[in-house]
Amino acid sequence: MSERTIALVTGANKGIGYEIAAGLGALGWRVGVGARDDRRREAAVEKLRAAGVDAFGVPLDVSDDASATAAARLIEDRAGRLDVLVNNAAITGGMPQQPTQVEPATIRTVMETNVIGVIRVTNAMLPLLRRSASPRIVNMSSTVGSLTRQAGTTAEQTAGPVAVAYAPSKTFLNAVTLQYARELSGTNILINLACPGYVATDLNGFRGVRTPEQGAAIAVKLATLPDDGPTGQFFDDAGTVPW
Ligand SMILES: NC(=O)c1ccc[n+]([C@@H]2O[C@H](COP(=O)([O-])OP(=O)(O)OC[C@H]3O[C@@H](n4cnc5c(N)ncnc54)[C@H](OP(=O)(O)O)[C@@H]3O)[C@@H](O)[C@H]2O)c1
C-alpha cells in the first residue's frame, strides 16, 4: 500500500475540481482525476503531471452505478485505499430555472448528479476510505443551498438566481452530509461541506468573480483537517455557512 496520501476528486477535468486536484497534488499527494470524458480527463492528467503532480485518471460518471464501482476497483488496484474523497462534480441543469415553469426532468437530472451522485460515489469509496488512518470527505456545496440565506430579504443574502433544481440540490446535499456525519460519528471519518464562493467557471458562464484556485482553497483546507477537526459542518473561506 502507498505511503503517500491518496485522494480522488470528482469532476476534476476543469474548473474548481481541477484546481482542487492541483492543490492536493502540490502537497505531494497522489491524486485520482475523476472525469467522465476520456479526452478531457487525459488532458487534465497530462496538465497536472506537467505541473509536477502525481496524477492518474479515474474514469467516473457520478450518475452511473457501474462507473462508480469500476472507479473504486481502479483505485483499489492502484493504491489499495483512499484517504480523501472530494465530491466536486455537479451540474446546474441550465438556467433559467423558475419554479413555475421548470420541467420535472430537469429536477431529476440535477438531483441524480448533485445528490445521488455524491451518495453513489461516497458509498462506492467507503470501503477504501475505511482503510485510511485519517479519512476525509469533502462535499462541494454552495451558499445557494443555505435555507437561511435563501430566506433572506436582500440580494446579498439570497445568493444566486432563483434556481429550483440547482439550489435545492445543494440543500439536499447539505442534509445528506449531516446524515453521513451522524452515522459516521463514531469513526475517524470527517465529512464536511465546502462553498467555494462565486467562481468564474463553465457552471455560471464564467460570470463568477473568484478564480478556480481561490474556490479550491476551502476544499483543500477541509481535505487536510487534523484528526480532531470538525465534521458535519458547512464552511466557506469566511468560516461557517448558516444552514
Ligand atoms: N462556480 C461557482 O461559482 C460555484 C459556486 C458554488 C458552488 N460550486 C460548486 O463547485 C463545484 C465545481 O463547480 P465548477 O464551478 O468548477 O463547475 P464546472 O466548471 O462546470 O465543472 C463541473 C465538473 O463536474 C463534472 N461533471 C458534471 N456532471 C458529471 C457527471 N455526471 N460525472 C462526472 N463528472 C461530472 C464536469 O465534467 P464535464 O467537463 O464532463 O462536464 C466538470 O468536470 C460544483 O459542485 C459546484 O456546484 C461552484
Which residues form the pocket of ligand 1, taking CB atoms under 6 Å from any ligand atom?
A: 10-11, 13-17, 35-37, 40, 60-63, 88-91, 113, 140, 142, 195-196, 198-199, 201-204, 208
Helix (H, G, I), strand (E, B) or coil at 168: helix
Active site residues: 166, 170
- Residue 68: its pLDDT value, please? 99
| Separation of alpha carbons 80 and 20, rounded Å | 22
Which helix (DSSP H) or strand (DSSP E) does residue 140 occupy?
strand 136-140
| Separation of alpha carbons 90 and 142, rounded Å | 11
The rounded percent of the chain whose pLDDT value lies above 70 is: 99
| Separation of alpha carbons 76 and 14, rounded Å | 24
Do 44 and 224 contact (CB within 8 A), yes or no?
no
- 15 CA distance to ligand 1 centroid (A)? 7
In whole angstroms, how far apart are CA 74 and each of 24, 59, 122? 19, 9, 15
Do 193 and 174 contact (CB within 8 A), yes or no?
yes
- 61 CA distance to ligand 1 centroid (A)? 12
Best residue among 146, 192, 199 to mutate for probing ligand 1, ranked by most atoms within 8 Å of CB: 199
Categorize the per-residue pLDDT at 69 as very low, low, confident or very high, splitting at 50, 70 and 90: very high
pLDDT of residue 160 exceeding 90, the answer is: no
CATH 3.30.110.60 fits 6-240, yes or no: no
Helix (H, G, I), strand (E, B) or coil at 89: coil
- Residue 1: its pLDDT value, please? 59
- 204 CA distance to ligand 1 centroid (A)? 10
C-alpha cell at 41: 480527463
Categorize the per-residue pLDDT at 154 as very low, low, confident or very high, splitting at 50, 70 and 90: confident
Please state the pTM of the whole predicted model.
Answer: 0.98
- Give 73-78's long-range contacts (Cβ < 8 A, gap of 24+): 74/32, 75/6, 75/8, 75/32, 75/125, 75/128, 76/128, 78/32
DSSP 238: T
pLDDT of residue 79 exceeding 80, the answer is: yes
pLDDT of residue 148 exceeding 70, the answer is: yes
Best residue among 36, 146, 176, 218 to mutate for probing ligand 1, ranked by most atoms within 8 Å of CB: 36
CA nearest neighbour of 237 among 213, 204, 206, 201? 213
- Residue 156: its pLDDT value, please? 78
Neighbours of 160 (CB within 10 A): 18
Neighbours of 130 (CB within 10 A): 14
Q: Provide the angle, in degrees to the nearest 10, between the axes of the packed helices 212-223 and 15-25.
A: 50
Question: Which residue minimizes the CA distance to atom 33 of ligand 1?
Answer: 61
